[in-house]
Structure formats: structure tokens, C-alpha cells
């Protein structure tokens, strides 16, 4: 029994959610091998080798894997899948994109978005936007599993020294091409891993008004989130969307401002430890899951909130 | 060119689902059903491509019980030309669905297949990618902009980091994000016309593919409920609670 886990990285650094996936994989089996496929990604292979839970690193360096095109990556994973019982990746846009191709090639039914590992073949996963939890048992011999990163603690990063094996690239189909990636660069913490998230919804009324949100986020060293309505309206870019089809976040503090609380939004944030809702509609569904609700006009409340925060002697970072 | 668009019937996105007491699933009796929302985006994009003159025919396919035909009728009412209903009275996993769709593709030979990026019931997010792999076609998932060229498509994809643009050769599989377009409503005359459009019938288990489910659902339960919270009177109280009670700032 052993696990092949596919690392997510940008050819320079490991993406943090890989550590959460490693920690989930360790609940499946102790023998974890990690595939680092990329171009000029030796530093990533070394970084992964230092993770104590990792027993071996498979390092495949080729321009074919520079942009993780699923058409190129999936055949490499499939070719190396023989020796493993589980193929694991994060259930984010990286893992969701390529893993089903691997599962199809292996004729395996994938288990998506696992939030709990009960045993090597039994998992818990949310369905219906997290309004129900299904416990499922995979009867396949080889199992393809994507895990919801925010449901598992990140694995410790250093102290290990796994062996790094170089492996060969495989032929690629050459029918898809990477053109460009427009990443939103921000000084703020990443939405997926931030301790505090401040989110705005349609109640903000415009993109300019999102400054009220970002001012508070900066004061609290928080990430900025948004409801789908706010993204659809063009107030803020798609990578900020929290919800069933956006990102799932589990911060210590989630502040929802001008967000009514559609079930699709709640799916992305209701596991947060403390939830604050600021909304002028006292009947808004968001209040039903908020620990602290403030029924108020956000255009008055947010500047007041900032000035109250400014009065505090210390703010946790 | 020809498009195959796949649509699924699911519990309507506005319905607050209820888990069955015996843990066997969720209540579906007398519950409003509709087309999986991003599947509507898939249909809309197909229709727009047809309106642009580059696409000659749209075939809408669904897999499910008799009532699943409603989703095909809806696609026909907004502009699909004909339908296919692959009948199955039991739940089929994405792997089995992809195998059935592959059979349909082999018969219909479309240049493009459009699907929603995820079904809002099982939230699997697998079918399009699996189908692409089985056909050995390229894929563009989570698509929010599609530009059709002569022999390829340029597609903007929504990813965690922002946006990514890829170019995929035809034939290709596209899975659609909700932001790809604004699905239109069917007009009454078009709903009437759609009733006359043909829907071919097939039976899933007669297609010669292994659709046995591999993942067994042991139980379905409600997620833990959150404790009821409180309303605070003003911003000062909120900040004080966050600082001194919740101790999160």
C-alpha cells in the first residue's frame, strides 16, 4: 500500500495546499511518494524532500510540464501509477483539472473533495454545496482521491530528507497549448490560507466601494473574499470568490459584509471558526450562521469598524 | 461544425435540501428540479456559437430517468436542434456517465462537447475531464470565455490564481463556468416549437459499457449545525466581542 501524491507548485516554490494534501495522504498510508513534475523545478523537488512525511520524491523535469497542462500531466501520472494504491491531489483548480483524466485512464471512479479519511477506502465528502456529508467506500483497486485542503492541517515542512528519484517524461499529445496566466498579485495573505477573511457582496454596490473592505483587510492582515454576485457584477476578480464553485475557506474569523448568504456562498465559508455578518437586512440568511451579527448600513458601519480597530492597542497578526 | 451539449437534471439550486432520516440520501419527492446551472451556460454558449454562423447543429444529451427529458426540452427551447435521452433509472457515477457520453460521441461525431463544470448535487467535477481523457481529446475546464477559431478554440479559464488562457485543438471538451455567459430564457413560441423537435431514446445498460458504480454510498448525514449566534447593537460592541470574547483580533 502506498500513495502517489501530485505536488502543486510554480516551478520555484511548492504551493502550500500540497502540504495539506500530504497530511491527508498520511491518514491513508504512511508510504507517501510525491511527484514533482515541472520545468526547472529542482528546488521544488528539494523542498518536498524535506517534508518529514514524504518517503520519496519522483522528480520529472521537462518543458512539457511547465504549465501543468492536464493533457500532458495526466499521462505521466498514469504511467507511474502502477506501484500505487492511491493517487492523491488537492481538490483545487489544479487537482480538479487533471485528476479525472488520470482516473478515466485507470478506469477508476474518483472520490472528489474529501474532508475526512476514515480508512484507506472510506472517505467523507460534502455534497449539495456542503448541506449533506456523504460517507463513501471506494471498491476500486486503485483509488484516485482529491482532498479539500482546508479540511486538513498542513504537514510540517522541514526535518525530512527523502530520496529524490529522477523519472522520465512521457510523450505528450500536442493538442493543447498554454497561452498565458494572469495572476492577481497581492501583498495580502492568500485567501485559501488566511487567518482572517473579509468578504464583500452585492451590498458594496461598486468596485470602488470595495476599498471599504480592503482597508479593513489591511488593518487586520486579512485576505479579501467576495460573493459570486460581487464577482459577476465586476466589483472584484474571480480569484476572490468564496463558495460552492469558488474557494472554500476556513479562517479563524470570517467577516461577511453586504452578503445575503445564499447557500452557494455558505458552502464556501460556514466552517469558519467565527463568523461576523454585517448587513442592513436583518432577515438575511447570513445571520442564521453568524456568531456575531450587526444589522447596519455597511457604508456607515465599515468606516466605524476601521476607526474602532485603530483604537485598539494591539491586533493579532 | 457540430456541438454536443450535455445537461443534467438536479435539485433546483434554490432548494434547501433535506437529508433523509435513515441516512440513505436526500429527499427528492415533490422537490423542485431543474437543469444543473452551469449546464445552462453550456447550452447558451453552444447557441451563441450557432448564431455566429460557425456551428451548424447542436445536439443536447441527458442521462437519467424519464423526467430528465425536461432538461433536453429546455435546451431545445433555447436553440438546440435535437435531443438524445439515455435512459437510466439508477444513479450513475461520473465515470459511467463519461463512458455513455463517449458512445454518444462516437455516433454523433461532434467537433466540440460543452458541459457544465460541476453538477451541484454530487459536486464531483469530473465528467468533462473523464470524457476528454477517454476520447483522447484536449479539454478546457472552468471556462469563462470561448473564442472559436478554424481548427481550435482559445479559452479563458478561471483558476485559483486568477485567469489562464489555453488554446485547444478541435475536437475538444469544454466545461463551463457560471460566468461564461448569461443563459437566456426560452420564449413561449420556442417552448412550443421545442416540443416538435426530435429526442432519440437510448437505454444506458444496452450501450455495452461497464457502468457499475465503484463507489458505495454508506450514509448521508447532515453536517454539524452551528450554534446560534447573537446580534450586537453597534460596531463598538462587535469589536469588543471579537477582541475579548472570541479573541480573534
Cβ–Cβ gap B160/A139 under 8 Å: no
Percent share of chain B, pLDDT over 90:
98
Is the pLDDT at B152 greater than 70, yes or no? yes
Q: Give the strands of the sheet with B230-232, arranged side by side.
A: A223-226, A196-200, A253-257, A274-279, A292-295, B230-232
Q: What pTM did the predictor assign?
A: 0.95
How many Å apart are CA A262 and CA B15, to the nearest integer? 11
Cα–Cα–Cα angle for B184, A264, A239, nearest 5°? Answer: 85
Cβ–Cβ gap A287/B229 under 8 Å: yes
Residues A57-112: tens digit of each pLDDT? 999 999 999 999 999 999 999 999 999 999 999 999 999 999 999 999 999 999 99
Q: What is the mean pLDDT of residues A285-312?
A: 96
| Interface check B66 vs A, CB under 8 A | no
Interface of B with A in 216-235 (CB under 8 A): 216-223, 226-232, 234-235
Q: Report the residue of chain B nearest A303, measured CA to CA.
A: B235
Residues A181-226: tens digit of each pLDDT? 998 878 899 998 899 999 999 999 999 999 999 999 999 999 999 9
Superfamily of domain A3-166: HUPs (3.40.50.620)
Choose the closest CB to B95 out of A69, A103, A296.
A103
Other CB atoms within 10 Å distance of the CB of residue A295: 17
Residues of B in contact with A108 (CB under 8 A): 95, 214
Question: What pLDDT was estimated at residue A316?
Answer: 77
Cβ–Cβ gap A103/B13 under 8 Å: no
Is the pLDDT at A172 greater than 70, yes or no? yes
Q: What is the mean pLDDT of residues A302-312?
A: 95
Percent share of chain A, pLDDT over 90:
94
Q: Report the residue of chain A nearest B11, measured CA to CA.
A: A128
Is the pLDDT at A281 greater than 70, yes or no? yes
How many Å apart are CA B205 and CA B212, to the nearest integer? 10
Instruction: Tell me the three cell numbers of residue A14.
Output: 511548492
Is the pLDDT at B226 greater than 90, yes or no? no
Choose the closest CB to B164 out of A96, A181, A263.
A181
Is the pLDDT at A245 greater than 90, yes or no? no
Residues B50-69: tens digit of each pLDDT? 999 999 999 999 999 999 99
Domain locations along chain A: 3-166, 196-311
Is the pLDDT at B237 greater than 90, yes or no? yes
Contacts of A299 (CB under 8 A, 6+ apart): A209, A212
Is the pLDDT at B136 greater than 70, yes or no? yes
- How far apart are the CA of A163 and the nearest CA of chain B, in angstroms? 31
Is the pLDDT at A1 greater than 70, yes or no? no
From residue B121, how far is each of A116, B28, B166 by CA, in Å? 19, 11, 28
Domain locations along chain B: 2-220
| Interface check B191 vs A, CB under 8 A | no
Choose the closest CB to B167 out of A136, A177, A276.
A177
Superfamily of domain A196-311: TPP-binding domain (3.40.50.1220)
Lowest mean pLDDT among A15-19, A91-95, A157-161, B226-230: B226-230
Which CATH architecture group holds B2-220? 3-Layer(aba) Sandwich (3.40)
3-state secondary structure of B168: strand
Q: How confident is the model at residue A313 (pLDDT cuts 50, 70, 90)?
A: confident
Residues B183-200: tens digit of each pLDDT? 999 999 999 999 999 999
Is the pLDDT at B89 greater than 90, yes or no? yes
Q: Report the residue of chain A nearest B240, measured CA to CA.
A: A308
Contacts of A313 (CB under 8 A, 6+ apart): none
Q: What is the mean pLDDT of residues B122-149?
A: 98
Amino acid at each position: 500500500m502506498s500513495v502517489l501524491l501530485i505536488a502543486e507548485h510554480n516551478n520555484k516554490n511548492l504551493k502550500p495546499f500540497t502540504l495539506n494534501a500530504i497530511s491527508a495522504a498520511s491518514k491513508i498510508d504512511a508510504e507517501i511518494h510525491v511527484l514533482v513534475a515541472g520545468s526547472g523545478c529542482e528546488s521544488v523537488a528539494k523542498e518536498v524532500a524535506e517534508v518529514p512525511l514524504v518517503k520519496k520524491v519522483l522528480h520529472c523535469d521537462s518543458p512539457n510540464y511547465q504549465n501543468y497542462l492536464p493533457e500532458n500531466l495526466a499521462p505521466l501520472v498514469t504511467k507511474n501509477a502502477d506501484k500505487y494504491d492511491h493517487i492523491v491531489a488537492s481538490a483545487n483548480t489544479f487537482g480538479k483539472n487533471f485528476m479525472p483524466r488520470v482516473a478515466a485512464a485507470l478506469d477508476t471512479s474518483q472520490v472528489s473533495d474529501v474532508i475526512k479519511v476514515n480508512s484507506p477506502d472510506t472517505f467523507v465528502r460534502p455534497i449539495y454545496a456542503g448541506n449533506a456529508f456523504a460517507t463513501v467506500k471506494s471498491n476500486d483497486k486503485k483509488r484516485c482521491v482529491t482532498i479539500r485542503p482546508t479540511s486538513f492541517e498542513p504537514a510540517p515542512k522541514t526535518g525530512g530528507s527523502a530520496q529524490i528519484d529522477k523519472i522520465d517524461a512521457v510523450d505528450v499529445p500536442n493538442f493543447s497549448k498554454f497561452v498565458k496566466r494572469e495572476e492577481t498579485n497581492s501583498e495580502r495573505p492568500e485567501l485559501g490560507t488566511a487567518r482572517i477573511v473579509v468578504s464583500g457582496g452585492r451590498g458594496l454596490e461598486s468596485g470602488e466601494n470595495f476599498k471599504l473592505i480592503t482597508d479593513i483587510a489591511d488593518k487586520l492582515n486579512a485576505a479579501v473574499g467576495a460573493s459570486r454576485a460581487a464577482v459577476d457584477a465586476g466589483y472584484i476578480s474571480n480569484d476572490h470568490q468564496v463558495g460552492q464553485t469558488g474557494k472554500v475557506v476556513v479562517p479563524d474569523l470570517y467577516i461577511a459584509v453586504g452578503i445575503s448568504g445564499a447557500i452557494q456562498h455558505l458552502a464556501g465559508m460556514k466552517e469558519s471558526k467565527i463568523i461576523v455578518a454585517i448587513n442592513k437586512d436583518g432577515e438575511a440568511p447570513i445571520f442564521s450562521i453568524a456568531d456575531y451579527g450587526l444589522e447596519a448600513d455597511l457604508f456607515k458601519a465599515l468606516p466605524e469598524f476601521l476607526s474602532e480597530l485603530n483604537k485598539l492597542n494591539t491586533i493579532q497578526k | 461544425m457540430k456541438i454536443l451539449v450535455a445537461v443534467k437534471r438536479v435539485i433546483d439550486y434554490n432548494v434547501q435540501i433535506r437529508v433523509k432520516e435513515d441516512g440513505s440520501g436526500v429527499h427528492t419527492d415533490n422537490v423542485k428540479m431543474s437543469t444543473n446551472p452551469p449546464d445552462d451556460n453550456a447550452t447558451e454558449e453552444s447557441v451563441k456559437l450557432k448564431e455566429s454562423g460557425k456551428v451548424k447543429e447542436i445536439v443536447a444529451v441527458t442521462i437519467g430517468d424519464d423526467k430528465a427529458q425536461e432538461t433536453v426540452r429546455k435546451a431545445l427551447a433555447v436553440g438546440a436542434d435535437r435531443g438524445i435521452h439515455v435512459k437510466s433509472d439508477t444513479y450513475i457515477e461520473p465515470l459511467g456517465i463519461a463512458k455513455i457520453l463517449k458512445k454518444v460521441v462516437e455516433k454523433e461525431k461532434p467537433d466540440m462537447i460543452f458541459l457544465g463544470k460541476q453538477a451541484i448535487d454530487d459536486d464531483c467535477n469530473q465528467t468533462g475531464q473523464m470524457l476528454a481523457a477517454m476520447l483522447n481529446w484536449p479539454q478546457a475546464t472552468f471556462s469563462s470565455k470561448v473564442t472559436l477559431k478554424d481548427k481550435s478554440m482559445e479559452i479563458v479559464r478561471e483558476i485559483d490564481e486568477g485567469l489562464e488562457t489555453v488554446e485547444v485543438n478541435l475536437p475538444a471538451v469544454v466545461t463551463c463556468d457560471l460566468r461564461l455567459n448569461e443563459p437566456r430564457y426560452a420564449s413561449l413560441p420556442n417552448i412550443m416549437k421545442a416540443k416538435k423537435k426530435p429526442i432519440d431514446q437510448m437505454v444506458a445498460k444496452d450501450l455495452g459499457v461497464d457502468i457499475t458504480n465503484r463507489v458505495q454510498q454508506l450514509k448521508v448525514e447532515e453536517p454539524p449545525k452551528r450554534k446560534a449566534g447573537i446580534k450586537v447593537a453597534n460596531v463598538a460592541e462587535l469589536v469588543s466581542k471579537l477582541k475579548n470574547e472570541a479573541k480573534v483580533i
